[in-house]
Amino acid sequence: MSTMTKSNIISSQQNHLSSTQATIDNSDDAALSELTLAFKLAFNHFEITSNQSIRISAITGIYGDSGSGKSTLLRVIAGLEHRAKGQLSLNGKSLQNSENKCFIKAENRQIGLVFQDSRLFPHLSVYGNLAYGAKRQTNHKLTIEKVLTLTQLTKLQHQNVTQLSGGEKQRVSIARALLAEPKLLLLDEPFSALDKTTKSQMLTILKAIQQQLQLPMLYVSHSLSELQYIADQLVVVSAGKISPSAPIHQAIHDLNSLGETSPKTSLSLIIAEHLPDYGLTRLSLPIAQGSNHSIYLPILEQSNDQRLIGQLLPCIIYARDISISTTKPEHSSIVNHLSANIIAIQHSKTNALVTLETGEQKFYAQISLWSAIRMELTTQARVFIQFKANAVHSYHNTEQTIHA
Amino acid sequence: MPNLIQKIILLFVIWLASQASCAFAVEKSKQTKPLRIAVAANFAQTLKLLLADLPNKEKINYQIISAATGTLYQQIKHGAPFDIFLSADATRPKLLEQEKLIIANSRKTYAFGQIALWSATQQLNSLNELKSYSNKLAIANPYTAPYGKAAQQALQHLSLWPQLKNQLVTGININQTFQQVRSQAVPFGIVAYSQLVINKYQGIIIPPEYYQPIAQQLVIIKASQQVKLAQQVSDFILQVSSQHKLQQLGYLPIKSRQEHSKVNE
Amino acid sequence: MTDISSDLLALITTLKMAAVTTVILLIIGTPLAWYLAKWQSRFKVFFEAVVALPLVLPPTVLGFYLLLAFSPSSLPGQIWQSATGSQLAFSFSAIVIGSVLYSLPFVVQPLQKAFEQLGDQHLEAAAMLGAGPIDRFFSIVLPLTKASFITATALGFAHTVGEFGVVLMIGGNIPGETRVLSIALFDHVESFNYANAHLLSAGLLIASLLLLSFVYLLGNNFTSKQHRPTKL
């Protein structure tokens, strides 16, 4: 299998970036949101507290179990929770301050919110719903037609919203929120009710919208893989406590050691080439100056369309899918193998979670306690990790068109 | 389609709003008020027939307002804009006089009511038919309605009260009693004779000696701004020709009854 | 004055009373229903009971107490007289106020139920799109509860047309001002004018039937509209 030259990869990356910026020019203020949250909200059974500042440049994920308070956090930011005490500000402008009784109403905060249950207005058509958002704001940078195209709703614009499918409803809901031209868009588990295929289509569309409009977003979900695909940084909400934000891969790796979720490796790889003859797509992992590893996964697109080449693909590899070998596995059906150094071993009753490093990139392998003992694994040891192409998961939508 | 419906609703709302505004405008512009004659419901029809002969009636603008005597009394007490009040009894006019709500000396008996035994199901020949009567008998409430009190007195006079008192159906007023008999729901009833005359029914008049006179009195309301006109109407009702007509309509005229007993104390 | 023309006058008075009453009821009943629907308090049931009271209270009883309140010797009556220069009792305003109180539950209750069912979801969504409270009422609440507004209007109007006891007590049966159809009808029966009574009741019955049918037709159109497939 051939490897692409480095210059090739870089040039295609630049192509991608320039095409993004050509579509829309944005004012600087919308490109980055600084959100300061210092509030306390007490309910009968628990309270939510926050005392930090989040810089949102693209999509910041908010992760937590159901009932952890993440939806409430969004409602506080949106201005829908009047009972929240404390201070809240966006880009230096105070949204609320219980000390001087300041409370900017939800309708005046210039914050958009996409609800889990879409909440489309049943008495209006798709177009009517979009126009509702557009009519009530002043700087008409976006046209309804443009947003219809962006959300692939042009054909549905005269439909009655009650007859739409779940995916269509959420696209209308997002489009409607976009047309109100908010400074910050909040999304509360917008795709949790959708099937996996539709969900991946939606995530792809949302990501494209974010890139085109440069609109900062806060995306709430209880699915780490969904967040991993869409977000560039993560905030974890647990029992009403809100953690500081961290880059997405680091944040997911930090969760591994807590044992709350199944441990996984989270990484973004450059799509290098499609190999239709083998049914694989090759991804590139830079490990040191001038050299990179190849990682293969089932082919992302069947056609000869090369539009994905050069893009970054967020991937997840579950620790349970990675095995360790002390010798180079040359006669194996497993396509992906990399050499790595063990940097930590964490034992539990049945398993050992092995943290490895290849260049700068961390990998996590979960092996049986028995194997760990038998193989006499120690930190600093140089080993080989291997995993099947199928073990590389990505939310990327493999379909060309939307059938949601 | 929905547009049409919306237009209809809009028109309706506009109409409602215009009604609202003009209603209040109309209220302000009312200056010259007609003479308002408040009359007990059971005398309203008779009064209309009487006033047909009112001299210069084209020039006199009057309105007849009828309700139960008790209701009219309460309304006058609370400022109802009536000029003259024709009660079905003497009690309420006396109360109004005590409360100083009427023009001094305006309280006059204008007629005496008569009661009659009546059945809508069979031809009656004499009061004696009550002696062996075992079915329901309709009378007006003896405690509140003057005609009911008279019916009780008459039955007591005939010594039939102990026998019939458990067969009574009492109406809240004499009109209800009349309806009960007329609808044949109750076979026999003691009603106002005037009711039978107006509706052209045959009944047996109960002799006036059997009961205390049912004096019906009129008063002119103190707050009236057309006292002169009210006085004219009062005089007209009391004049001989009117009294003669009242007699034809089933009432006893003032003169004949006053010979029997003194009512205007 | 002939009976027919006096009945016609009564009809006009009735329509006027019902129309004015309905407009006032919608104006005060809508916010009242809104607060009852949204208010979370133990005392809420008490206020709901107060609104429902006219359903229980005999109209003549309500009318009697209103008569006491409106009379020129009482404080509310005096306040009215000094403010407007005319007497409150036995005026058109008096029967309108009486009808508003008497028909209040017929307007407030359907609206309250509709507002409760509507919930906050769509209102929150509208707020997030920049719509203020008044804007939300006209752009979201009103279109989504149209059917209930129609029902409330119909019930309020129809119940006021059929109103008798309260108007009888506080109106004084004054032609052209407070003499309404139901009282004219009662007068005809009381004075053995059965032909006129039959004519009037038939007219009232047919008019009410037509009005209510029309209103329910509108209501049906609105409720079925949301489920009707639209052409592409």
Mutate to test the interface with C, among A71, A154, A160, A185 (most CBs of C within 10 A): A160
Helix, coil or strand: residue B165: helix
Question: What letter would DSSP give residue B106?
Answer: -
If one compares A390 and C214, the residue with the highest pLDDT of the two is A390
Tokens read off for A369: 């306690």
CATH number of the CATH domain containing B220:
3.40.190.10
In this prediction, residue B12 carries a pLDDT of 67
- How near does any CA of chain B get to the CA of C116, in Å? 24
- Return d(Cα A392, Cα A179) in angstroms, integer: 36
Determine the structural domain holding residue B161 and report its residue range: 115-205
Q: Which H or E run includes B21? A: helix B2-29
Q: Residue C223: what pLDDT?
A: 57
Nearest alpha carbon to residue C170 among C77, C44, C75 = C77
> Does residue B185 share a domain with residue B247?
no
Shortest alpha-carbon distance between residue B91 and chain C (Å): 20
CB A94 within 8 A of CB A73: no
Q: pLDDT-based confidence at A6, cuts 50/70/90?
A: very low
* Contact at CB, B79 and C87, closer than 8 angstroms: yes
- Select the more confidently predicted residue: C169 or C225: C169
Three-class SS of chain C:
CCHHHHHHHHHHHHHHHHHHHHHHHHHHHHHHHHHHHHCCCCCHHHHHHHHHHHHHCCHHHHHHHHHHHHCCCCHHHHHHHHHHCCCCCCCHHHHHHHHHHHHHHHHHHHHHHHHHHHCCHHHHHHHHCCCCHHHHHHHHHHHHCHHHHHHHHHHHHHHHHCCCHHHHHHHCCCCCCCCCHHHHHHHHHHCCCHHHHHHHHHHHHHHHHHHHHHHHHHHHHHHHHCCCCCCC
Is residue B19 included in any domain, yes or no?
no
Using the beta-carbon criterion (under 8 Å), do C127 and A160 form an inter-chain contact? Answer: no
Q: Is residue B122 in a domain?
A: yes
Question: Which of A71, A81, A123 to probe by mutation at the C interface, max C CB count within 10 Å?
Answer: A123
Write down the pLDDT at residue B264.
Answer: 43
Provide the pLDDT for residue B22: 55
What tens digit of pLDDT does each residue of A64-91 get?
A: 887 788 888 899 999 998 888 888 888 8
B219 in any annotated domain:
yes
Please indicate, yes or no, whether residues B45 and B89 belong to a single structural domain of this protein: yes
Pair A281, A296: CB distance under 8 Å? yes
How big is the CA angle at B100 (ends B97 and B104), to the nearest 5 degrees? 70
Q: Between chains, do A132 and C128 touch, taking CB under 8 Å as contact?
A: no
Of A361, A357, A359, A353, nearest to A381 by C-alpha is A357
Q: Give the pLDDT of residue B205.
A: 95
> In sequence order, what are the beta bridge partners of A392?
A317
| CA–CA separation, B103 and B84 (whole Å) | 10
Same domain assignment for residues B152 and B181: yes
Task: Map out the domains of chain C with their CATH numbers.
Answer: 3-55+94-227 (1.10.3720.10)
Asked, for residue B105, whether it belongs to a domain, the answer is yes
Q: Do residues B195 and B221 both lie within one domain?
A: no
Mean pLDDT for chain C?
Answer: 86
**Which pLDDT score is estimated for B54?**
87
Is residue B119 located within the same domain as residue B197?
yes
The answer on B175 and B143 residing in a single domain is yes
User: Is C90–B75 a contact, with Cβ atoms under 8 angstroms apart?
Assistant: yes
Output the 3-class SS for chain A: CCCCCHHHHHHHHHHHHHHHHHHCCCCHHHHCEEEEEEEEEECCCCEEEEEEEEEECCEEEEECCCCCCHHHHHHHHHCCCCCCEEEEEECCEEEEECCCCEECCHHHCCEEEECCCCCCCCCCEHHHHHHHHHHCCCCCCCCHHHHHHHCCCHHHCCCEHHHCCHHHHHHHHHHHHHHCCCCEEEEECCCCCCCHHHHHHHHHHHHHHHHHHCCCEEEEECCHHHHHHHCCEEEEEECCEECCCEEHHHHHHHHHHHCCCCCEEEEEEEEEEEECCCCEEEEEEEEECCEEEEEEEECCCCCCCCCCCCCEEEEEEEHHHCEEECCCCCCCCCCEEEEEEEEEEEECCCEEEEEEEECCEEEEEEEEHHHHHHCCCCCCCEEEEEECHHHEECCCCCCCCCCC
Over chain A, what is the mean pLDDT? 83
For residue B61, tell me if it sits in a domain: yes
Contact: B41, C22; criterion CB under 8 Å: no
A65 contact C CB<8A: no
Together in a domain, B126 and B95: no
Buried-state track C146-169, b at ≥16 Cβ within 10 A, e below 16: bbbbbbbbbbbbbbbbebbbbbbb
* pLDDT, position B245: 94
- Which of the residue ranges A190-199, C44-53, C223-232 would you say has the lowest mean pLDDT? C223-232
- What's the token pair of residue B135? 């079915």
B78 and B139 part of one domain: no
Please tell me the predicted confidence (pLDDT) of residue A101.
86
| pLDDT of C220 | 72
Chain C residues in contact with B19 by the CB 8 A cut-off are 15-16, 19-20, 23
Instruction: Examine the domain organization and report whether B93 and B221 are in the same domain.
Output: yes
In a domain? residue B234: yes
CB contact under 8 A, C130 and A136: yes
- ipTM of this model? 0.80
Which amino acid does the sequence have at A95?
A: L
Interface of A with C in 164-193 (CB under 8 A): 176-177, 180
Chains A–C, number of C-beta pairs less than 8 Å apart: 72
Cα–Cα distance for residue pair B230/A234, rounded to 1 Å: 93
Please tell me the distance from the alpha carbon of residue C130 to that of residue C142, in angstroms, as a whole number.
18
Provide the shortest C-alpha distance from residue C225 to chain A (in Å).
9
Residue B22 resides in a domain: no
Same domain? For B192 and B244 the reply is no
- Are residues C140 and A121, on separate chains, in Cβ contact within 8 Å? yes
Give every CB contact of residue A8 below 8 A, 6+ residues apart in sequence.
Answer: none
Chains with ≥3 Cβ pairs under 8 A against B?
Answer: C
- Contact criterion met (CB < 8 Å) for C121 and A117: yes
Binary contact (C20, B27; C-beta < 8 A):
no
pLDDT at residue A25 greater than cutoff 50: no
How does pLDDT run across A285-305, given as a tens digit for each residue? 887 777 788 999 988 876 556
Domain end among B159, B184, B205: B205
Name the residue among A112, A117, A123 with its Cβ closest to that of C128: A112
Which SS3 state, helix, strand or coil, does residue B207 take? Answer: coil
- Within 8 A by CB and 6+ apart from B80, the residues are B38, B72, C89, C90, C172
Burial of A374 (0-12, 13-18, 19+ CB in 10 A): exposed
> Are residues B41 and B74 located together in one domain of the fold?
yes
Nearest CB to C168 within list B48, B71, B78: B71
Q: For residue B18, tell me if it sits in a domain.
A: no
Q: Does B30 touch chain C (CB under 8 A)?
A: yes
10-residue averages of pLDDT along chain B (265 residues): 62 65 51 84 89 82 88 90 94 95 94 95 90 92 90 95 92 89 93 92 94 94 92 93 93 68 43
pLDDT value at residue A57: 84
C contact test, residue of B6, B37, B78 with most C CBs within 10 A = B78
CB spacing of C173 vs B65 below 8 angstroms: yes
- The answer on B199 and B237 residing in a single domain is no
Number of domains in chain B: 2
Mean pLDDT of C182-207: 84
Pairing of strands A85-90, A93-97: antiparallel
| CA nearest to B16 within chain C | C19
In this prediction, residue A317 carries a pLDDT of 94
Task: Report, as an integer, the average pLDDT of C204-230.
Answer: 69
C10 vs A31: which has the higher pLDDT: C10
Per CB-CB distance under 8 Å, the chain C contacts of B42 are: 190
Q: A176 pLDDT band (50/70/90 cuts)?
A: very high
